[in-house]
Amino acid sequence: MAEARFYLKLFVFRMREPFTDFLATGITYVLYCFFVWLLSMVWMRFNAHNSLFTFKQVLLYIGVTELLFMSFLSLRAITGATEDFALFLARPRSWVGREIMANIGMNLGKRLLFALSLIGFSYLLGAQPEDPPAFLARLALLLVLLALPQALIATLFSTLRLTFPQSDYFVLPFSKIFLALGGVFGPLSDYGEPWRWVFLNLPGADLFFQPAFFAVHGYFFETDFANWALRLIVLNAVLLIVTLFFYQRGRRAYQAWGG
């Protein structure tokens, strides 16, 4: 019970963290709104004529994918996680558990703030959702469901750098796999074949395109909720297994300073 309370407190603490220094981080949300606007303009220029989306919908779509992406992988959080790894070897608590809970908390906190920015920004541009309560309910559901895979991917990189410190250089390109192939730039449904089919079957589509499509339209693109949830469960399971594998490997190979 005490264990569960510790992880819950940690989760709440990390979730509240982005709210504590809003004045300093506030400008990040300006950048977020800028990217939503910019990508919507690019979409308007090239894809508006043959799309399943109206301008209002695409603005919300990009708003959702960007809020998921801009809180996706933080190199600072990944490197920070391993700083006290040696101490955890002497503690009766799980380092992996601590990392997963901390990442879930931090991720949810950031995403809530991005979601608030999106709502404000969409009203400012007159592109607010047609049914705001339904949109918010769907978004809230997605934020909860997507917190775990995001936390597992961040923890995976933290465990990887225990053995391979050079993995830091691959955080950025790895995140770009999801940015470029996951439909963050624009709806995958508007892409030309054969790339649309390829990208729709990659994990990036499950983490970015399908959730954003669902948030805007209320249904998934060429699939249903059960199928998407099943893919998400499989992805979580694979990520957990790989994370635990690299954790065990890292623990065995780890040498503290002076060791």
Partner 1 sequence: MRLVFRAAIFHFRTHWSNQANFWSGITGMLVNNSLILFGIWAMLFAGKSHLNESRDGFLMMNLILMLAWGCLHVFGGGATTLDTQITQGHLDSAMTTPRAPLLVLSLTSSYLPAWGDMLLGFIGILAFSFRLGPVFFLHALLISIFATLALLAVYLFIGCLAFWFRRTDNAHSVLVNICLAFNTYPVYEGSGAGPRWMIFILPLLLSGAVPAAYLVNPSLKMLALEAGGSVVMFFLARAVFHRGLRRYQSASVPSLQRS
Q: How many CB atoms lie within 10 A of CB 251?
A: 16
- Residue 255 lies near partner 1 (rule: CB under 8 A): no
By CB under 8 A, name the one of 80, 120, 173, 218 that touches partner 1. Answer: 173
Smallest gap from Cβ 252 to partner 1, in A, equals 20
By CB under 8 A, name the one of 8, 12, 31, 144 that touches partner 1. Answer: 31
- Residue 177 lies near partner 1 (rule: CB under 8 A): yes
SS3 readout for 180-211: HHCCCCCCHHHCCCCHHHHHHCCHHHHHHHHH
Q: Rounded to 5 degrees, what angle do the CA atoms 138, 57, 130 make?
A: 65
Smallest gap from Cβ 239 to partner 1, in A, equals 20
3-state SS class at 164 = coil
By CB under 8 A, name the one of 15, 36, 39, 112 that touches partner 1. Answer: 39
Cα–Cα dist 195/23, whole Å = 42
By CB under 8 A, name the one of 53, 69, 135, 185 that touches partner 1. Answer: 185
User: Per-residue DSSP letters for 44-93?
Assistant: HHHTGGG-S--HHHHHHHHHHHHHHHTTT--HHHHHHHHHTHHHHTTSSS
Q: Which is nearer to partner 1, 10 or 40 (CB)?
A: 40
By CB under 8 A, name the one of 7, 11, 14, 35 that touches partner 1. Answer: 35
The tokens of 169 are what? 């250089």
* Of residues 143-172, those binding partner 1 (CB under 8 A): 166, 169-170, 172
- Residue 91 lies near partner 1 (rule: CB under 8 A): no
- Residue 22 lies near partner 1 (rule: CB under 8 A): no
Site track for partner 1 across 45-84, x = CB under 8 A: xxx-------------------------------------
Burial class (CB in 10 A: 0-12, 13-18, 19+), 38: exposed
Q: Which is nearer to partner 1, 34 or 219 (CB)?
A: 34
- Residue 42 lies near partner 1 (rule: CB under 8 A): yes
User: Per-residue DSSP letters for 18-36?
Assistant: HHHTHHHHHHHHHHHHHHH
Q: Interhelix angle for 171-181 vs 75-83, to 10°?
A: 140
Q: Which is nearer to partner 1, 165 or 218 (CB)?
A: 165
The residue ranges that bind partner 1 (CB under 8 A) are 24-25, 27-28, 30-31, 34-35, 38-39, 41-42, 45-47, 166, 169-170, 172-173, 176-177, 179-181, 185-186, 190-193, 195, 199
